[in-house]
Chain A
Amino acid sequence: GEDVEQSLFLSVREGDSSVINCTYTDSSSTYLYWYKQEPGAGLQLLTYIFSNMDMKQDQRLTVLLNKKDKHLSLRIADTQTGDSAIYFCAEDGGYQKVTFGTGTKLQVIP
């Protein structure tokens, strides 16, 4: 079946850039998503990218998609303490069937 993998932890200093990586296996993915989960809260959709795009930028967020390698990344510029959360990538394989990664816990050190 489809599989989405992420590293579990990332620690960065405040002001630095964070890069969270994700790999997936489903070549029929139409959309790929990044979600943010703050402690005690549900998932918040941060951004998504259509599978025929290479890059999408939204303020401090940059999403890069390498469809050939099935690799997705989320870059957060000027990382702030409020960015500390768990970030999930997810791929939509069609019919709105979404497969989530296990999440990357981002720790921002002041």
Chain B
Amino acid sequence: GAVVSQHPSRVICKSGTSVKIECRSLDFQATTMFWYRQFPKQSLMLMATSNEGSKATYEQGVEKDKFLINHASLTLSTLTVTSAHPEDSSFYICSARGYYRQASSTDTQYFGPGTRLTVL
């Protein structure tokens, strides 16, 4: 079953408001979390990478002040879309890398179910 959860799964907001999306790793500690944005029928675009307790590393072209990422603990990362506009409407996916099973000798990346953001 899924080991990464996202909340909310869908959100509709008015232009100019801020929206927070939570990403949680369940039953494992995520050393690194990734935030992606997906456009229809296209590759996921990596927005930023974050390690617990440190500032996120943003990909080129992604506005830090627009997309605030807080990796507060080893199981929680949040993405806040500030002053959202219709062009921010998209599907946002987080993933978490960590050791899920004790028997696993390597860390694995697990993806959340995604959050559909619609900005009116």
A residues near B, CB below 8 A?
1, 3, 8, 31, 35, 41-45, 48, 86, 88, 90, 95-100, 102-103
Inside 8 A of B106's CB, which chain A residues have their CB? 8
Most buried by A among B2, B95, B111: B111
> Is B93 interfacial (CB-CB < 8 Å)?
yes
Inside 8 A of B109's CB, which chain A residues have their CB? 86, 102-103
- Which one of B41, B43, B59, B91 lies within 8 Å of A35 (CB-CB)? B43
Q: How large is the interface on B (under 10, 10 to 19, 20 to 34, 35 or more residues)?
A: 20 to 34
10 nearest A-B pairs in the assembled complex, by CB-CB distance: A42-B46, A100-B111, A45-B43, A43-B44, A44-B43, A102-B108, A96-B91, A43-B43, A42-B44, A97-B114
Contact A97 B1 (CB under 8 A): no
> Is B36 interfacial (CB-CB < 8 Å)?
yes
B residues near A, CB below 8 A?
1-2, 9, 36, 38, 40-46, 59, 91, 93, 95, 104, 106, 108-111, 113-114, 116
C-alpha spacing A88/B108, complex, angstroms? 12
List 5 other contacts, CB 8 Å, given A1-B113, A35-B43.
A8-B104, A8-B108, A90-B111, A95-B116, A97-B9
C-alpha spacing A103/B108, complex, angstroms? 8
- Which one of B2, B36, B46 lies within 8 Å of A3 (CB-CB)? B2
> Within the complex, what minimum Cβ distance (angstroms) separates B34 from chain A?
8
Contact B43 A98 (CB under 8 A): no
